[in-house]
Amino acid sequence: LFDIASGLRYLHSQGVVHGDLHSVRLLLGRVRKIVDLPQQENVLVDDNGKACLTDFGLSLIIQDFVGTSYLKSNVCGAVRYTDPELVRKLETQVDGSVVHPTKPSDIYSFGGLMLHVLTGKRPYDPIREIHVAGIVARGERPELPVDERISPQHESLIERCWSPQESTRPSAEDIMTLLQVISDV
């Protein structure tokens, strides 16, 4: 988690928004063979446990496919990690302008990644993808499962990442600090 937050901090400090942060893919072996998983992930973890972000330019490409069958069929797994505020902005725009992901929407997605990494459960599990899209569009946040693998401090951080008010979400720098404090407890 710390590595992912560090990657986000770097991107955000350079004025880059990832825009499509979701799930985790494992890299195994010296040749870094990618394990086949059912959906494309953009957080890669090598056999030493080091995580890195990939595909951070994808958000600009996805905008070209909004409303097409390509978007509905190829990025449905990512909807679980999508900030409902971003969906709301997309639905309420009337002038045809492009809605871009933001740093706070990256932070929202990071909260979903935390849940997935800590529990093995994705946001909104076990709800099917087709229903998750509607739930996200209504602005409903995922429920945190009762799970002993989530400390109260991790739970609090996830909830802060999922705050409906973008301005109250922590920055990537704040997340790194909080994760360090949690690991020291």
Specify the pLDDT at position 56. 54
Specify the pLDDT at position 32. 41
Range of the domain at 33: 2-184
Query: Residues near 70 by Cβ (< 8 Å), separated by ≥ 6?
Result: none
Dist. CA 182–CA 153, nearest whole Å:
7
Six-digit token pair at 103? Answer: 């740093």
3-state SS assignment for residue 91: helix
CA distances 123 to 27, 36, 92, 167, 179, Å, are: 23, 21, 24, 22, 20
Dist. CA 175–CA 7, nearest whole Å:
11
CATH number at residue 36: 1.10.510.10
Task: Check if the beta carbon of residue 40 is closer than 8 Å to that of residue 60.
Answer: no
Specify the pLDDT at position 18. 84
Task: Check if the beta carbon of residue 147 is closer than 8 Å to that of residue 119.
Answer: yes
Per-residue tens of pLDDT for the chain, all 185 residues: 888 899 899 888 888 888 878 765 444 333 343 343 444 555 656 666 676 666 655 444 444 444 544 333 334 448 899 999 888 877 777 776 777 888 999 999 999 989 988 888 889 999 988 899 889 988 899 999 888 888 999 999 999 999 999 999 999 999 999 999 998 75
Residue 151: alpha-carbon gap to chain centroid: 20
Specify the pLDDT at position 29. 39
The number of folded domains in the chain is: 1
Specify the pLDDT at position 76. 43
- Model confidence, pTM: 0.77
Strand stretches in the chain, DSSP E? 25-28, 33-34, 43-45, 51-53
Task: Check if the beta carbon of residue 5 is closer than 8 Å to that of residue 110.
Answer: yes
The partner residues of 44 in beta bridges, in order of sequence, read 25, 52
Specify the pLDDT at position 92. 73
Specify the pLDDT at position 41. 56
Specify the pLDDT at position 165. 93
